Chain A
Amino acid sequence: MLAAIGLNSEEDLVSYLASDVRFNGKLAIPDGKSEYEIVDYFKQRAAENALGYSSFLGAGVYYHYRPVLVDTVVSRGEFLTSYTPYQAEISQGTLTSIFEFQTMICQLTGMEVANASMYDGSSAVPEAAMMAVRITRRDKVLVARTVHPEYRQVLQTYTQHQGIPLEEIGYDKKGRLDLDDLRKKLNEDVAAIIVQTPNFFGLLEQLGEMKRLVAAKGALLVVVFTEAAALGIIEPPRDADVVVGELQSFAISPSYGGPYVGIIATLEKYIRQIPGRLVGETTDAAGHRAFCLTLATREQHIRREKATSNICTNQALLALMATVFMTLYGKEGLRELAVQNLSKAHYLAGKLPLRFDAPFFNEFVITANGRSPEEINSKLLEQKIIGGLPLGRFYPELTNCMLLCATEMNKRSDMDAVASAFKN
């Protein structure tokens, strides 16, 4: 091959690079390892992590069972090793599955349009805020303090230089968005109010009342969710103008924080303001149903600096995992899964001092009477149980509180152990 291109040695391939840009050293990276050594390395790392513990952590990342078929499907090279489906004729597998994904997200959320995915729930939030600013041509955004704290931090990072002032709305005695505070801060400059349900404390927010207040001022209601499993039983956010959320609960392993998959869904009238890739139905030259990426004139590769967002690569394979999960559980299963979560959480909560009195799904805040949450957690660790998330780091006023989550994967015996750790 070298001869065919008129070179003598492969070093000639880089010899034209000026000597002051060429790297003449040797990369300080150890020599290549065998497959066995690499597997062993990661087994050792895994052993340094929490192996063999049961956990009551939620707070945006949930332990749900992953049906075997999910990995069977996403391990197929045709899905795993294909690129973004720009060439529709040889990408109908990916395109069809994304169309099914978009449809299921609409069915689940009560919205009319959903895109092909976002990076994750946290980065979908500022994209929704930017969308609301474009739609309303207003700039201010209100965000509930009961939205996931790290999501709010990401929102702050994204909006800081886009001329989008943020203001937080506090929570009331019941741990839900304080409607009086919202009334006070809501005015004609506000593009959107961002609220999460179930909120970071696991509680259901009062979307109906918010919608009335927000609509009266011509602002949009953006609803966030982190626990998709809740949508199997709770009323979908039909009052929302934009819904964003995280689908990690749908067969995506926690994997120390990612990769996950975010969604953004909205009403048909806002379709041209939605960021990211969209798959649409059409026909091929023979008149058969076919799918393709569509409305690309919103996107960066066409619109460049005038695009709705800079997003390009998304989380297609994770969206496929969620699609397979939703397919397997289906209409009946998603409800049964939600009821199991509801039952487990309410069983555990029934034995503990709840901080807030409002309906919750599978997470709740408890007060650690007389002791610190950290103290209780260390005690649980001795029994190979990871307790809840101490809330002080995000809510200084809740330093004596922790957020606990129970899913279908928590056994009754472990829940009883958690309950007794609070007693003595």
Chain B
Amino acid sequence: MIKQVTRHIVQNEPLLFEQSSPGKKGYQLPALDVPESDPEKVLGRENVRDEIDGFPEVSEFEALRHFTRLSTWNYAIDLGLYPLGSCTMKYNPRINELVARTEGVAWAHPYQPESLSQGCMEVIAALESALAEITGMDAVTLQPAAGAHGEFTGILMIRALLESRGNARKKILVPDSAHGTNPATAMMVGYTVENIKSNDRGMVDLGVLERVVTEDVAGLMITNPNTVGVFEENIRKICATLHDKGALVYMDGANMNALVGVARPGDFGVDVMHLNLHKTFSTPHGGGGPGSGAVAVAKVLTPFLPGPRLKREGDKWHWNYDLPQSIGRVRAYYGNFGVLVRALAYIMAHGGNGLRQATLDALLNANYIRTLLEPYYELAYKAPSMHECVFSDDRQAKHGIRTGDVAKRLIDYGFHPYTVSFPLIVRGAMMIEPTETEGKRDLDAFIDAMISIAKEVEETPELVAKAPHSTRTLRVDEVTAARKPVVRWIPRSTASQAAD
């Protein structure tokens, strides 16, 4: 059994509020070169606040130590394999960080004159055109801030197109294997959601689909490859079925890392899709964001793109706000520009051939894991895997061990867990996506860990059930957290008064 690590000072870092001392500070402002205003005089006494009660007071070095210590409590792709399915945790090249901080780029104000923003506008134009080429679509908007925001943008455009044809229709179809953002998005655009059941190969069932596609259906939201990592083999027929009834096809591009350079959604019938630049195009997840949910559309949807749009006039870029059919803005300004810079740098570094090679490497890594783990874990579907493979915990469940337990035990072996219990159509799902940036040595170590855990499940299941054993923090009580939510720090004395 792996022993508990030794507890030392780095592991007992208090919260900022608990280490504050009155008067400490970590900043220095230049001396004021104008007369100092009296806040009460210029704002009015009633508009001036008291000091910010409870706000931190620490020195610069204390602040640095605090956040550095906290950082050591995190797992990260920089530390090791991060096989979260559907999340595409690949290496984040550091040159992308450097170029995003280039002074004239990082300090560009969104309202500075267009004549002094041509560099930023060129970056946007270059990325739009590269993503249109990769997806095989006609146009791209970079305004959405994340994948779900992109879905929202795409479904709004579908609605706008259908309205322009006289009927917005009522329903969006969503396969039961879809990400939760899909149905939540459809609701925000005023549609009801009809879930459609996948077939025994984990794919959309054409027969079922043909029955539910009526004149009431505005569109289908489909992930391809889907969340079991399988390419929807009938995708052309699926698209045709929707199109025959005047409905549209939205593709969730969360899994685009499997397709770049290999297949283009625009070529196989998709009308609109989003790309997660923070997945496929390597921009860092940063512990949960920022992302960027670029949306690519077929020609029929281009009039409805959110504005403003770039327009070339002579040798200059302009922002065009005159877009009568546009769905409107989904966000202020032009999108998560700093993320766009990073994605463009990634595309430039790879080139067309390099992007395709990355895809093949991602497929190879996933299939390697699948083949070597298949003797030990139950493969959810036999259909060929693309960039990720999905197992179920059927064999482990017989010993009382579920997917969440195996996941926690992986932590003891030095790996981040796979995606747990998703997709929902697989009982006890283990969704593994290694990405192309892992080498054979790390893949083998991960596979060895999974095999070793499979044996532990049979021989010493309690070891797995109580994992992790090696971490600073042991298994966390999420139930109590939700039952009695404490979502901000309150000084102990105040807290006990509040309890009275």
Residues B94-124 near A (CB distance < 8 A): 95, 97-113, 116-120, 122-123
Max count, chain A CB within 10 A of own CB: residue among B26, B89, B92, B345:
B26
| In the complex, A257 has a CB within 8 A of chain B | yes
Given A45-B123, A312-B148, A161 and B364 contact (CB-CB distance below 8 Å): no
Given A77-B79, A305-B184, A87 and B411 contact (CB-CB distance below 8 Å): yes
Cβ–Cβ contact A13 & B363, under 8 A = yes
Q: How far is the CA of A381 from the CA of B187 in the complex (A)?
A: 47
Q: Which of B66-74, B208-216, B395-403 has 4 or more CB atoms under 8 Å from chain A?
A: B66-74
Given A257-B337, A259-B338, A331-B57, A81 and B92 contact (CB-CB distance below 8 Å): yes
Cβ–Cβ contact A90 & B107, under 8 A = no
| In the complex, B496 has a CB within 8 A of chain A | no
New A-B contacts (18) at CB < 8 Å, excluding given A46-B103, A63-B109, A326-B56: A4-B368, A27-B356, A46-B104, A80-B286, A87-B411, A89-B476, A90-B411, A99-B15, A114-B487, A154-B328, A284-B477, A294-B478, A295-B485, A300-B183, A311-B146, A315-B289, A326-B55, A343-B37
Q: Which of A53-61, A170-178, A185-193, A214-222 has 4 or more CB atoms under 8 Å from chain B?
A: A53-61
| In the complex, A329 has a CB within 8 A of chain B | yes
B361's closest neighbor in chain A, by CB? A10
| In the complex, A158 has a CB within 8 A of chain B | yes
Cβ–Cβ contact A389 & B74, under 8 A = no
Q: Which of A35-43, A138-146, A365-373 has 4 or more CB atoms under 8 Å from chain B?
A: A35-43
**6 A-B residue pairings within 8 Å (CB atoms):** A31-B353, A82-B77, A83-B89, A93-B74, A231-B52, A285-B476
Cβ–Cβ contact A80 & B39, under 8 A = no
| In the complex, A417 has a CB within 8 A of chain B | no
Cβ–Cβ contact A255 & B337, under 8 A = yes
A378's closest neighbor in chain B, by CB? B113
Residues B151-170 near A (CB distance < 8 A): 151-152, 156, 159, 168
Q: Which of B196-204, B453-461, B466-474 has 4 or more CB atoms under 8 Å from chain A?
A: B466-474
Contact with B along A352-391 (1 / 0, CB 8 A): 0000000101000000000000000100010000100100
Q: How far is the CA of A69 from the CA of B63 in the complex (A)?
A: 9
Residues A192-212 near B (CB distance < 8 A): 204, 208
Q: How far is the CA of A121 from the CA of B96 in the complex (A)?
A: 25
- Nearest Cβ on chain B to A165's Cβ, whole angstroms: 13
Q: How far is the CA of A58 from the CA of B97 in the complex (A)?
A: 25
**Contact partner, A84, options B285, B306, B328, Cβ 8 Å:** B285
Residues A253-311 near B (CB distance < 8 A): 253-259, 271, 277-286, 288, 290-292, 294-297, 299-307, 309-311
Given A29-B352, A74-B286, A87-B417, A253 and B107 contact (CB-CB distance below 8 Å): yes
Write out the residue numbers on chain A whose beta carbons fall within 8 Å of the beta carbon of B46. Answer: 208, 235
Cβ–Cβ contact B145 & A123, under 8 A = yes
The 5 lowest CB-CB distance pairs between A and B, nearest first, are A257-B333, A317-B286, A46-B104, A77-B78, A161-B190
Cβ–Cβ contact A313 & B289, under 8 A = yes
- Nearest Cβ on chain A to B209's Cβ, whole angstroms: 17
Given A29-B347, A93-B72, A73 and B77 contact (CB-CB distance below 8 Å): no
Write out the residue numbers on chain A whose beta carbons fall within 8 Å of the beta carbon of B17. Answer: 100, 103
Write out the residue numbers on chain B whose beta carbons fall within 8 Å of the beta carbon of A74. Answer: 286
Q: How far is the CA of A359 from the CA of B55 in the complex (A)?
A: 26
- Nearest Cβ on chain A to B60's Cβ, whole angstroms: 6
| In the complex, B236 has a CB within 8 A of chain A | yes
| In the complex, B263 has a CB within 8 A of chain A | yes
Q: How many residues of A contact B (CB 8 A)?
A: 192
Residues A89-117 near B (CB distance < 8 A): 89-94, 96-100, 102-104, 106-108, 112-114, 116-117
**Contact partner, A88, options B101, B189, B365, B478, Cβ 8 Å:** B478
Cβ–Cβ contact B49 & A254, under 8 A = no
Residues B14-31 near A (CB distance < 8 A): 15-17, 20, 23-27, 29-30
Max count, chain A CB within 10 A of own CB: residue among B92, B148, B481:
B481
**Contact partner, A339, options B36, B354, B477, Cβ 8 Å:** B36
Q: How far is the CA of A72 from the CA of B330 in the complex (A)?
A: 32
Q: How far is the CA of A24 from the CA of B238 in the complex (A)?
A: 22
**Contact partner, B485, options A236, A280, A326, Cβ 8 Å:** A280
- Nearest Cβ on chain B to A314's Cβ, whole angstroms: 4
Q: How far is the CA of A44 from the CA of B262 in the complex (A)?
A: 32
Cβ–Cβ contact B149 & A49, under 8 A = no
Write out the residue numbers on chain B whose beta carbons fall within 8 Å of the beta carbon of A271. Answer: 485, 487
| In the complex, B391 has a CB within 8 A of chain A | no
| In the complex, A330 has a CB within 8 A of chain B | yes
Q: How far is the CA of A396 from the CA of B336 in the complex (A)?
A: 29
Cβ–Cβ contact A79 & B73, under 8 A = no
| In the complex, A423 has a CB within 8 A of chain B | no
| In the complex, B376 has a CB within 8 A of chain A | no
| In the complex, A122 has a CB within 8 A of chain B | yes
Given A83-B287, A347-B34, A1 and B74 contact (CB-CB distance below 8 Å): no
Given A81-B284, A295-B482, A386 and B367 contact (CB-CB distance below 8 Å): no
Cβ–Cβ contact A386 & B113, under 8 A = yes
| In the complex, A75 has a CB within 8 A of chain B | yes
Contact with A along B415-458 (1 / 0, CB 8 A): 01100101000000000000000001000000000000000000
Q: How far is the CA of A32 from the CA of B489 in the complex (A)?
A: 49
Cβ–Cβ contact B70 & A310, under 8 A = no
Given A39-B95, A46-B103, A30 and B351 contact (CB-CB distance below 8 Å): yes
Cβ–Cβ contact B263 & A330, under 8 A = no
Write out the residue numbers on chain A whose beta carbons fall within 8 Å of the beta carbon of B2. Answer: none
Write out the residue numbers on chain B whose beta carbons fall within 8 Å of the beta carbon of A104. Answer: 55-56
Given A21-B267, A157-B329, A294-B482, A14 and B334 contact (CB-CB distance below 8 Å): no
Write out the residue numbers on chain A whose beta carbons fall within 8 Å of the beta carbon of B330. Answer: 123, 154, 157-158
Q: How far is the CA of A7 from the CA of B364 in the complex (A)?
A: 10
A45's closest neighbor in chain B, by CB? B119
- Nearest Cβ on chain A to B370's Cβ, whole angstroms: 8
Write out the residue numbers on chain A whose beta carbons fall within 8 Å of the beta carbon of B146. Answer: 119, 311-314
Cβ–Cβ contact B339 & A329, under 8 A = no
| In the complex, A182 has a CB within 8 A of chain B | no
Cβ–Cβ contact B52 & A107, under 8 A = yes
Given A69-B26, A234-B43, A44 and B289 contact (CB-CB distance below 8 Å): no
- Nearest Cβ on chain A to B111's Cβ, whole angstroms: 5
**Contact partner, A14, options B109, B193, B363, B411, Cβ 8 Å:** B363
B66's closest neighbor in chain A, by CB? A327
Contact with A along B213-241 (1 / 0, CB 8 A): 00000000000000000010101100000
Q: How far is the CA of A159 from the CA of B478 in the complex (A)?
A: 34
- Nearest Cβ on chain B to A139's Cβ, whole angstroms: 13
| In the complex, A48 has a CB within 8 A of chain B | yes
Cβ–Cβ contact B328 & A157, under 8 A = yes
